[in-house]
Amino acid sequence: MYVATLITNPDAPTLNQTLVDSLRNAWGGGDIVWLSPDEAAEFSVSQVPDNQWDVWAELQKMGVDLVLQPTEGRRKKMLLADMDSTMIQQECIDELADEAGVGDRVKDITARAMNGELDFEGALTERVGLLKGLDEAVIAKVLAERITLMPGGQELVATMRATGGYAALVSGGFTAFTAKVGEALGFDENRANTLLAENGKLTGDVQHPILGRQAKVDALEQITARLGLSDADVIAVGDGANDLGMLGRAGTGVALHAKPSVAEKCDVRVNHGDLTALLYVQGYARSEFACA
């Protein structure tokens, strides 16, 4: 059996009964379960419909995300999450670059790297090099003034941990940010690159080895082995090309507001919902969300 889940933006929920009924009837689905009024609903189907992606494309125009997946095992025991543009709404290195006066140059490199056009490690090295000489205290300023959490993140982490799950934040960004963001959201652990500084100034380099695409896969393997879990027990979320390895390995890999070149390689795509969509995909109703 499979389950079809329809999700909209919780800030402007537009999912109506007629639309859900129509799709359920067209696909010969089971009873509709509303996970949240006007926001998220699901129904079972016996097989994946041939027109899944055609319907997905039409629903995208209506501001609705559609996810189809096997019913069995969809509630996961571990969350593996990217940070930049996933658990937070910004790219940390871009914000630091703005403070250093090289924002436009760095943002262009970031966008191309996240789209898979550039080698991640090379792009990170180039961008960090442009931060050379920046006052280390700027990191705290950026954290306080520029970084905002992605909506739904606190509910996601809190609910998964309340039901016995483990949450790991794995970023190609920097430990100075993952430590604070991880603590604010309640992650069990965080991994990222370390910006190097001397005499209160950034040196323009990071500690090696650089945590990139493979390091995220390594984190999945290491943490699941430590916890006695399998890849199938993991739900991973990210938006960039360096997340594709872990998204492909996880039992459920979610492309969240991802670059088109990334989303097209993932079966679960969330473009309109927020991070609570990862709970709806697992079958949680809003009434089951833990208080963040």
Residues noted as catalytic: 82, 84
SS3 26: helix
* Contacts for 274 with CB less than 8 Å, ≥ 6 apart: 9, 10, 11, 150, 151, 152
- Around 127, how many Cα atoms within 13 Å sit in the side-chain half-sphere? 30
Q: Specify whether the CB–CB gap between 160 and 76 falls below 8 A.
A: yes
H or E stretch covering 218: helix 213-227
Other CB atoms closer than 10 Å to residue 163's CB: what's the count?
15
**Secondary structure element (H or E) that encloses residue 141, with its range:** helix 138-145
Q: From CA 44, how far away is CA 32, in angstroms rounded?
A: 8
| Tokens read off for 197 | 């500084």
**Cα torsion through 113, 115, 117, 122, rounded to 10:** 20
Is residue 197 within a helix (H) or strand (E), and if so which, with residue range? strand 195-198
Rounded to whole angstroms, how far apart are CA atoms 176 and 56?
39
